Amino acid sequence: MWLVFVDGGFDLDLEEYRFVEERGQLPEWARESLSMDGWEGILETRLEGVAWAKHEGLAPGQPFLLKLEKPVYTHYSSFEGDEWDCEWPWKILKKLPLSETTINRRWVQIEKSIAAFEAARKAKEQALRDLQLSDIDAFYLTTETYICGYHDDMPSGIRVNLVSKHTGHKVGGGCRLFSGDDPGGSFDNALEDLATQLKKSPLKLSMEQLRTLPHGWLW
């Protein structure tokens, strides 16, 4: 199959290249895996597209012909039972030629694009974090139990979370900002631990303020 790396924002994404006559047909055993994992999953390039392309001597937008063989499965046992690893043998057969000038120009463009995307992402995250820490009216508490010891079967600890309604998403829910724990299962002690954690943070909330916040349980 002919493939090509394209600008994916924070990395390079793999796509099928359809503008060539020399195209193979995917067998059934490959179509199912491709529908679930995509080319990034099969070739293990997800979040590593730039490094993978450079290692294989490919430039962004440079089509290449890939030969994919049947997957090799390795069986092993774990405490969760029987498990399988899957590896896909592959080989690059051909690359459409590009001039050195074109290759260098494309890498400069893609690295600028990735840098701009990352800067925008960090700025958005910081703006959201500033809003989460400043809007006290959006705070609420949640409480959950947790297992303290490795060999314990039942949860015995209590965790109190300070949550903001601001998540950065259109759907509901909340974003956990800070937590306080008590392995003995005392809500008051966990709340006291949360207040202690807040003293080390930019957010200063007293025990009295924490007790006035809306409160719900997580199970």
Q: Which residues contact 139 (CB under 8 A, 6 or more apart)?
A: 162, 163, 164, 165, 205, 213
Domain of residue 152: give its range: 133-217
Is the domain of 68 the same as that of 137?
no
pLDDT, tens digit, 9 for 90 and up, residues 55-89: 999 999 999 999 888 888 888 787 777 887 888 88
pLDDT, tens digit, 9 for 90 and up, residues 101-124: 999 999 999 999 999 999 999 999
Is the domain of 160 the same as that of 71?
no
Number of separate domains in the chain: 2
Is the domain of 82 the same as that of 25?
yes
Of 110, 137, 131, the C-alpha closest to 54 is 110
- The average pLDDT across 33-48 equals 80
Is the domain of 90 the same as that of 152?
no
pLDDT, tens digit, 9 for 90 and up, residues 183-203: 999 999 999 999 999 998 988
How far apart CA 173 and CA 136 sit, in angstroms, is 16
Question: In b/e form, how buried is each residue of 123-148, taking b as 16+ CB within 10 angstroms?
Answer: eeeeeebeebbeeeeebebbbeeeee
Is the domain of 49 the same as that of 14?
yes
- Residue 123 covered by a domain: no
**What SS3 state is found at 133?**
helix
Is the domain of 14 the same as that of 91?
yes
pLDDT at res. 150: 61
Q: Are the beta carbons of 68 and 30 closer than 8 angstroms?
A: yes
- The average pLDDT across 124-131 equals 95
Is the domain of 12 the same as that of 106?
yes
Is the domain of 102 the same as that of 137?
no
Is the domain of 15 the same as that of 87?
yes
- Residue 176 covered by a domain: yes
pLDDT, tens digit, 9 for 90 and up, residues 147-159: 876 656 677 899 9
Q: Tell whether the model's pLDDT for residue 172 goes beyond 80.
A: no
Of 176, 173, 134, the C-alpha closest to 159 is 176
- Residue 126 covered by a domain: no
Q: Which residues contact 1 (CB under 8 A, 6 or more apart)?
A: 16, 23, 24, 26, 65, 66, 68
Strand duo 139-146 + 90-95: pairing: unpaired
Residue 178 has phi, psi (to 5 degrees) of -145, 160
pLDDT at res. 20: 67
Is the domain of 150 the same as that of 84?
no
Strand partners, 161: 142, 179
pLDDT at res. 219: 57
- How confident is residue 142, by pLDDT bands cut at 50, 70 and 90? very high
